[in-house]
Amino acid sequence: MNPVLPDAAAEFGATAAKAFAALGGVHAARRAEEAPDVRGSEVAKALEALGIDEIDPRLDDDNLAAAAALCAEAGRVALPYPLVGVLLRGDDGPFAVVPDDRSRVDHGDLFESWRIATLDGRTGTASPAQQALGSRLGPFVADLASDGATDGPIGDVALHLTLTAWVVLGTSERAVELAVDHVTTRIQFGKPLSAFQAVQFQLADAAVAVAGLRELAHFTLWRLTVAGEAAMVDALALRVHAIDVARSVLRVCQQLHGAAGVCDEYDISVLARHVQPSLRLPCSAERAADELATAIGRDGFEGLFPHERAAP
Amino acid sequence: MDFDLGEQAAELRARLRALIAEHIAEDYLGAFTDDPADLDVAQRFCKTLADEGLLTVSWPAEYGGGGGSVWEQTVVREEMWAHHEPRGAQYMGLNWVGPAIMAFGSDAQKAQHLSAIAAGDVIWCQGFSEPDAGSDLAALSTKATPDGDGWRITGQKIWTSYAGMAQWCVLAARVGSGERHEGITMFLVPMDTAGITVRPIRSMLGPHHLNEVFFDDVWAGPEAVLGEVGEGWAVIRRALAHERVGIARYARCERLLSALGRELAPVWDGLPPAIPAQWARALIQVRVARLLAYRTVRAQETGEPPDVLASAARIAVTQCDQSVAELLFQAVEDGSLESGAGAPLHGAIEDHWRYAQAATVASGTIEVQRMIVSKALLGGRS
């Protein structure tokens, strides 16, 4: 029993953190909104320098752990890049899990061809059909047009859901740190906001929620390495939980920033905007929870007691 | 990374489940129901576990225990709580009174108490909380006044579980006129000593759980002091640390969610659509609570300070207990109002809901845990 990320992966994460800081941290996301080419130039180069081409999360547990650590660091700065998709790239380009009814992909405009899959098991290839949405919550989200169905295995779906949850984990962890920084320096009523127990308790609950998400993220990596395709249910569970935690934690952390929580001058606002595609694509938490309930009833859920139900 | 608890833990789990299946009825709801026979079941099961060498799995071998790893101890906690704690009132003696006597007790105290606890012969209660000292335990005011070579103890304890059935009490009292932690001293007192009165408190938890205990000029000899006079706070800290990871509430939650899935299988597709999704989320919450508890156990194993981790785990575990309780009630709708053998899941759902209401209070309130977590988070910056 060892629930801790291997040292090598943790060290790789620390190296990635330095590289992302050199890009300007969250400021890289702000710059990419002004000049989207930043993604394909500076960010892609930084990732290349980190050796992203040599990481294949499908290969073994060390690769998977390194990829996860990298994704968490990317989440901490809202790295403007389709990192998970590129980590799971194939001959047809990066990989995306897309909604059932349209191939909507974050940074979909950045590559000419994508390998795509839906949660209901359809696979294919697609390419950008339109410009990115350019919206505040999905600045780089683009719809792809299908180039045809393929018979490829959909095994990467579980990996995609899991690594995306690691991005969300990084964002959530950073949000709590930003909130702690803010409430300890912002003086109101003659004392720091952190002197108020109402503030302390909200932070404690957020920190516990994020700590629980991290343990579940670690556990899910382990399940992916020992359970193969049966870990799809674990990846779905992690996705549901990551969305649930991020929604409540980001809300609290924005609230604790006061009006600054919605101002892009503050990192919390940029994080809260840029994480939205990871929370909404390929489907909502509610739809994922419905899928999960069905999957658990059919396949079970690793734990202390059985949960699969016999078919009626 | 590896989340497998290991072969020994798995074997122990299988052995415990086999014994439970043999000796404990499927619909057993613990020792503290309205039926006194349920207490007898627990007392007999403790003897069975003792005969099998399983009652003191977690104790060091030098005290006749199994020398079990922290993971085997975890398995015991999980299996016992999942199956409605068939050790009844004895888990307190096993979990922390025995270990505290090992750590702080005299040779005579060890000889007198450890073998009795290990044999499954004795029930202990803990005299900590007082009417004016709950979360703020260091405010306790029960007085121990020197009298000859011993002490006279006067004061009142409250919320004392099992006081009506216990043979012994670990009692915290204050020697001298010091404040806060100063002067607090632990005494091991037989509950049949003259001057002790127990008054049960009616509660939704059922009988035996909550009591008031009055100490009126109760005599305690010098041999009753556990550890040094005035050094009782160290014993209390050890007890509370043990209690923080002590109850594996998530294990019973998971067993009930599993049973609910089976019970409702024939009508599953006709449930309000929100229920299956909430059931799935509850299973996630149970998994997260278990993993946070494991993180604390891992910290104990590696010597990492476990205090903040334990508080985080406790917040998650107790909230999990309450949200699972509410989901179970939602799922069985108006059947939630029934109790007893004819109620949904033999009354286990109704029983769980009532117990869960105290989860965020028992052994330290969730507010105290939040204070510990936020203090660590803010690092003195508040």
The residue out of B231, B263, B290 marking a domain boundary is B231
Q: Do B284 and A294 touch (CB under 8 A)?
A: no
Asked if residues B3 and A219 have their Cβ atoms less than 8 Å apart, the reply is yes
Closest-CA residue of chain A to B376: A204
The residue out of B231, B260, B283 marking a domain boundary is B231
Q: What is the domain-level CATH number for residue B266?
A: 1.20.140.10
For the residues of B357-379, what is the DSSP string, one character each?
TTTTTTTS-HHHHHHHHHHHHHT
Within this chain, do residues B59 and B85 fall inside the same structural domain, yes or no?
yes
By C-alpha distance, which of B128, B302, B287 is closest to B211?
A: B128
Give the burial string for B223-240 (b: 16+ CB within 10 Å, else e): ebbbbebbbbbbbbebbb
Does some domain include residue B236?
no
Within this chain, do residues B357 and B264 fall inside the same structural domain, yes or no?
yes
Does some domain include residue B355?
yes
CB pairs under 8 A between A and B: 159
Residue in the structure block whose two tokens are 């790893």: B69
Question: Judged by CB atoms within 8 Å, which residues 342-381 of B form the interface with A?
Answer: 367, 369-371, 373-375, 377-378, 381
Within this chain, do residues B75 and B137 fall inside the same structural domain, yes or no?
no
Q: Rounded to the nearest 10 degrees, how much is the dihedral formed by the CA atoms of A216, A222, A227, A233? A: 20
Token readout for A35 is 């000049």
The residue out of B102, B121, B140 marking a domain boundary is B121
Gap between the Cα atoms of A292 and A294, Å rounded: 5
Does some domain include residue B242?
no
Asked if residues B156 and B202 have their Cβ atoms less than 8 Å apart, the reply is no
Token readout for B55 is 């009652």
Sheet holding A103-106, edge to edge: A95-98, A114-118, A123-128, A141-150, A103-106
Residues of A in contact with B367 (CB under 8 A): 201
Within this chain, do residues B99 and B149 fall inside the same structural domain, yes or no?
no
Report the residue of B84, B244, B288, B368 to disrupt the A interface, i.e. the one with the largest count of A CBs within 10 Å.
Answer: B288
Within this chain, do residues B193 and B279 fall inside the same structural domain, yes or no?
no
pLDDT (tens digit, 9 = 90+) per residue, A197-245?
999 999 999 999 999 999 999 999 999 999 988 999 999 999 999 999 9
ipTM for the complex? 0.97
Token readout for B208 is 């035996």
> What are φ and ψ of residue B184, in 5° steps?
-65, 130
Give the model's confidence band at A162: pLDDT under 50 very low, under 70 low, under 90 confident, else very high.
very high
Token readout for B145 is 């006044």
SS3 B185: strand
pLDDT in tens, chain B (382 residues): 999 999 999 999 999 999 999 999 999 999 988 898 999 999 999 999 999 999 999 899 888 899 999 999 999 999 999 999 999 999 889 988 999 999 999 999 999 999 999 999 899 999 999 999 998 999 999 999 999 999 999 999 999 999 999 999 999 999 998 889 999 999 999 999 999 999 999 999 988 889 999 999 999 999 999 999 999 999 888 777 666 566 899 999 999 999 999 999 999 999 999 999 999 999 999 999 999 999 999 998 898 887 899 999 999 999 999 999 999 999 999 999 999 999 999 999 999 999 999 999 988 899 999 999 999 999 877 6
SS3 B45: helix
Does some domain include residue B200?
yes
| pTM to 2 decimal places | 0.96
Closest-CA residue of chain B to A179: B378
Within this chain, do residues B48 and B169 fall inside the same structural domain, yes or no?
no
Closest-CA residue of chain B to A286: B277
pLDDT exceeds 70 at position A153? no
| pLDDT score for B209 | 86
| pLDDT score for B287 | 98
Fold of A156-299: Butyryl-CoA Dehydrogenase, subunit A; domain 3 (1.20.140)
Does some domain include residue B69?
yes
Gap between the Cα atoms of A300 and A46, Å rounded: 41
pLDDT (tens digit, 9 = 90+) per residue, A1-29?
999 999 999 999 999 999 999 999 999 99
Share the mean pLDDT of chain A: 95
By C-alpha distance, which of A262, A4, A235 is closest to A119?
A: A235
Q: Do A194 and B382 touch (CB under 8 A)?
A: yes
Within this chain, do residues B64 and B141 fall inside the same structural domain, yes or no?
no
Does some domain include residue B348?
yes
Residue of B277, B369, B374 lying closest to A290 (CB–CB): B277
Which residues lie below 8 Å from residue B285, measured CB to CB, with a gap of 6+? B316, B319, B320, B323, B324
**Domain of residue B45, residue span:** 7-121
Token readout for A90 is 């194939």
| pLDDT score for B236 | 87
Token readout for A157 is 């779906």
Q: What is the domain-level CATH number for residue B132?
A: 2.40.110.10
Q: Do A297 and B284 touch (CB under 8 A)?
A: no
Report the residue of B256, B267, B323, B382 to disrupt the A interface, i.e. the one with the largest count of A CBs within 10 Å.
Answer: B382
CA dist B29 → B47, B81, B88 (Å): 19, 11, 10
Residues of A in contact with B369 (CB under 8 A): 204
Half-sphere exposure of B352 (CA within 13 A, CB side): 36
pLDDT exceeds 90 at position A155? no
Q: Do A219 and B287 touch (CB under 8 A)?
A: yes
The number of distinct structural domains making up chain B is 3
Report the residue of A172, A189, A219, A304 to disrupt the B interface, i.e. the one with the largest count of B CBs within 10 Å.
Answer: A304
Q: Where are the domains of chain A?
A: 7-84, 95-150, 156-299
Q: Do B261 and A309 touch (CB under 8 A)?
A: yes
CA dist B190 → B113, B165, B168, B171, B196 (Å): 11, 12, 4, 10, 9
Average pLDDT over residues A134-161: 89
